[in-house]
């Protein structure tokens, strides 16, 4: 069932279009992510949904009710800000209890609820700590508990993991996902980190300069990017400007590749792991001879940069025994037609 619907949302700041006719529908219980580079309008859209910012055009509908002009405090939406925005002069308990106190809940209810949500975010025993005495990850959990204790229908998270170091980020990613599925709370998550988006989301909306360019599951976005921007932004890819004629993509005067079908497009994209590399050739379709220019090993994976005439291709292989090719070695790359995506800008 649909929980939130955005129709033709438009927002301008100082005559610059920040959001351009955004249409989205978010289902109940979904973990939905806004993904895009810095400045593409993610936070602005989240603020419009929360009611902190007014759009010039468009409607925000929540559970079938038009909420476009409803004040933030009446929206039943919880927001965790990127900088956590905790109250610095209050301890952990007081921070989490703040909203319930404002609602004039009884002391007993407040104690019960704050205890329950601090336990949920793994902060039992931290009640009396001042927030300035907490690590980034702990502050992030207090901010999360402070939102969750209000039992919002929709949880908005604005890059909540970006201030944490890599290890803590991985850990919090899993914890956050676990809490979300335990509570079944519909969550809108903002990030510019593709790995975060791919690993956590049910669905992702990709933004490019205020435009929502694709909505889909992580698998759909990764394997069938809608355009060059999405293919480039999500995951590594080999992207070439080409001429397409007679079922072939012509890369330059000497290199052309057979395609599955003759669709229109100006670019082809092939993921590094879809290229096979070998020191032998069976002369199969789309096999190119090249020289290994660079080898970098990151543990389970080996990444090669291979030059084929004037072109450079990135190839990723699993680092299994006997899999390594050396710098300067001649190799053969095979680009299967079904792995070549035809794209436009
Ligand atoms: N209050 C404001 N006044 C003027 N311009 C603004 C305001 N808020 C945002 N902008 C501009 O709107 C654009 C989108 O900003 P927004 O904060 O939504 O981007 P974002 O996608 O969240 O980026 P980031 O990943 O860096 O947080 C930016 O160009 C920003 O400078
Ligand atoms: Mg932002």
Q: What is the mean pLDDT of each run of 10 residues along the chain (345 residues)?
A: 95 95 96 95 95 95 93 89 86 95 92 93 92 88 91 91 80 87 93 92 97 97 94 92 91 90 86 94 88 95 95 95 89 94 92
Question: Measured between alpha carbons, how far is residue 135 from residues 84, 125, 141, 180, 235 in Å?
Answer: 12, 15, 10, 22, 31
Question: For position 338, what pLDDT does the model report?
Answer: 92
Distance from the CA of 80 to the center of ligand 2, in angstroms? 12
- Are 214 and 225 spatial neighbours (Cβ–Cβ below 8 Å)? yes
Residues 6+ apart with CB under 8 A from 304: 277, 292, 294, 295, 314, 315, 316, 317, 325, 331
The single residue listed with the structure tokens 């956050």 is 176
The single residue listed with the structure tokens 């002391």 is 107
Question: For position 20, what pLDDT does the model report?
Answer: 97
- Give the closest ligand to the alpha carbon of residue 12: 1
Joined tokens for residue 178: 């676990």
Mutate to test the pocket of ligand 1, among 9, 11, 12, 13 (most ligand atoms within 8 A of CB): 13
Question: Measured between alpha carbons, how far is residue 188 from residues 181, 259, 306 in Å?
Answer: 13, 38, 40
Q: Residue 229 and residue 244: Cα distance in Å, rounded?
A: 20
Joined tokens for residue 35: 């993904």
42 lines ligand 1 (CB under 6 A): yes
Q: Phi then psi for 110, rounded to 5 degrees?
A: -60, -45
25 beta partners: 5
Strand duo 2-13 + 57-62: pairing: antiparallel
- Which atom of ligand 1 lies nearest, measured to the CA of 190? 22
264 beta partners: none
75 lines ligand 1 (CB under 6 A): no
Joined tokens for residue 106: 């009884």
Q: Residue 185 and residue 31: Cα distance in Å, rounded?
A: 8
Q: Residue 216 and residue 218: Cα distance in Å, rounded?
A: 6
Distance from the CA of 30 to the center of ligand 2, in angstroms? 21
- Are 156 and 81 spatial neighbours (Cβ–Cβ below 8 Å)? no
Kindly tell me the sign of the dihedral angle through the C-alpha atoms of 82, 87, 88, 92.
Answer: negative
Nearest to 242 by CA among 232, 233, 252: 252
Distance from the CA of 31 to the center of ligand 1, in angstroms? 23
- Are 251 and 240 spatial neighbours (Cβ–Cβ below 8 Å)? yes
pTM of the model: 0.89
């Amino acid at each position: 069932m649909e929980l939130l619907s955005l129709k033709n949302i438009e927002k301008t700041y100082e005559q610059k279009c920040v959001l351009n006719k955004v249409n989205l529908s978010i289902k109940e219980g979904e973990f939905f992510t806004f993904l895009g580079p810095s400045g593409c309008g993610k936070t602005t859209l989240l603020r419009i949904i929360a009611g902190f910012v007014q759009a010039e055009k468009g409607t925000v509908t929540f559970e079938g009710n038009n909420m476009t002009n409803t004040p933030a405090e009446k929206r039943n939406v919880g927001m965790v800000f990127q900088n956590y925005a905790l109250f610095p002069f209050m301890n952990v308990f007081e921070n989490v209890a703040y909203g319930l106190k404002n609602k004039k809940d009884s002391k007993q209810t407040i104690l019960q609820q704050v205890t329950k949500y601090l336990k949920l975010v793994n902060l039992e025993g931290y009640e009396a700590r001042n927030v300035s005495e907490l690590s980034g990850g702990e502050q992030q959990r207090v901010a999360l508990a402070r939102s969750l204790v209000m039992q919002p229908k929709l949880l908005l998270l604005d890059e909540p993991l970006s201030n944490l170091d890599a290890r803590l980020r991985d850990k919090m990613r899993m914890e956050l996902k676990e809490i979300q599925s335990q509570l079944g709370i519909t969550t809108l998550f903002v990030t510019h980190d593709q790995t975060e988006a791919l690993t956590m989301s049910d669905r992702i909306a990709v933004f490019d300069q205020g435009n929502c360019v694709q909505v889909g599951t992580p698998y759909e976005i990764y394997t069938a990017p809608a355009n060059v921007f999405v293919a480039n932004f999500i995951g590594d890819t080999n992207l070439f400007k080409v001429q397409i004629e007679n079922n072939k993509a012509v890369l330059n005067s000497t290199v052309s590749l057979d395609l599955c079908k003759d669709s229109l497009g100006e670019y082809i994209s092939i993921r590094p792991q879809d290229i096979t590399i070998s020191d032998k050739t069976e002369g199969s379709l789309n096999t190119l001879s090249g020289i290994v220019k660079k080898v970098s090993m990151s543990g389970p994976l080996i990444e090669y940069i291979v030059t084929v005439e004037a072109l450079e291709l990135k190839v990723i292989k699993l680092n299994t025994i006997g899999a390594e090719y050396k710098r300067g070695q001649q190799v053969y790359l095979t680009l299967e037609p079904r792995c070549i995506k035809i794209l436009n800008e």
